[in-house]
Structure 1
């Protein structure tokens, strides 16, 4: 069992680096180098389009790679559990168990990397509120994913487990909505007029 879990995590991490393709803040090629004009209070710095300015920011930027896994795994766990309840085929039960345990494991580094990145980013106004709520929702999602995974392993698929899984599904979506608001702007889900 442990060999399979370690092998699965290694495969997952290798795909993380191969397929990481975040383009939330694309920079045009002609804007790849920006010079900041020095003032008395500000030294001259040259920023290479989107390049991290510190090791903390670089490590924290891996949050944007890791965050997709807990979101997708929790959503697919809910779908697999629904399919298992509907069709009663063991493959859906095995898939749900694997994905929930994987989501609980990956939620920990995702939350930690998000905390690290939050110390390097500066938001004001409404986006500062988004950061605060996103941070606590993300921490809650990681903790709750671990609790739900232990609940499933310990007590099986009870009504309480299904209720907690639905709450986890809602919590991860709220967290993702707040994260999207920080990346794309607070009104990113409003329909066009």
Structure 2
């Protein structure tokens, strides 16, 4: 059975929405530079405690001249508006690939919703076959597969085009997301076959587990290690 059974207009709309919606978030700068999780944590600590870092750097060094101390005393931290302007300038897009990478967090929500709903619909179909949700599952799985492929591609732009990452979290996130896109494609193919649904249900169960794990990894990347506070 071919994909032509799926209404083309909803699927085309899903693809169009995933491609044209505006950017809302970007990948961590440390991940773009292939920094390890430990290096990123150290960098964030230095950013959070710049005064302590300056004191530590000068404690064992040569004494600071009185003139330099006067300049430091006069200098003031940037205002909130200046800090905001600096952040806006820092985040300005300079390359097409950079812009595509910033679309990844936005695009990732579509396959998450569609594939999880497909798994839920399949559970309902298993419990109540009379509901006739086969077409609904096909639509959700096909849309989720398209969205997962787009999100995975944008994720490679966000994380950088390399096969090995110094950050274990980024490496797991990269390859787990790629695997989700691949399994979603297989699930879409299985959903349009007239054979038994056992293999489709196995694929949907794997997708649900992989998506939940992917969400955890995303939280680790955004909020830092042990972001759930379980350790």
Within a 5 Å distance, the mapping from 1:1-193 to structure 2 comes to 1=4, 4-10=7-13, 13-14=16-17, 17=20, 21-22=24-25, 31-34=83-86, 48=89, 50-119=91-160, 128-190=167-229
CA separation in 2, counterparts of 1:3 and 1:162?
19
CA separation in 2, counterparts of 1:77 and 1:90?
14
CA separation in 2, counterparts of 1:177 and 1:165?
19
Which has more radius of gyration?
2
Please state how far the C-alpha of 1:22 moved relative to its aligned partner: 4.7
CA separation in 2, counterparts of 1:16 and 1:88?
36
Runs (5+) with no aligned partner, structure 1? 36-46
Higher relative contact order (CA 8 A, sep 6+): 2
CA separation in 2, counterparts of 1:81 and 1:19?
32
Please state how far the C-alpha of 1:55 moved relative to its aligned partner: 2.4
In the other structure, the counterpart of 2:65 is none
Q: Deviations over 1:33-58 (max 9, x none)?
A: 228xxxxxxxxxxx526333432211
| Pair 1:75–1:139, CA change in 2 (3 A) | same
| Pair 1:88–1:24, CA change in 2 (3 A) | same
TM-score by length of 2: 0.63
Quick check: which one's helix share is greater?
A: 2
Quick check: which one's strand share is greater?
A: 1
Runs (5+) with no aligned partner, structure 2? 29-79
Give yes or no for contact 1:84–1:92 (8 Å, CA) kept in 2.
yes
In the other structure, the counterpart of 1:38 is none
Please state how far the C-alpha of 1:24 moved relative to its aligned partner: 9.4
TM-score by length of 1: 0.74
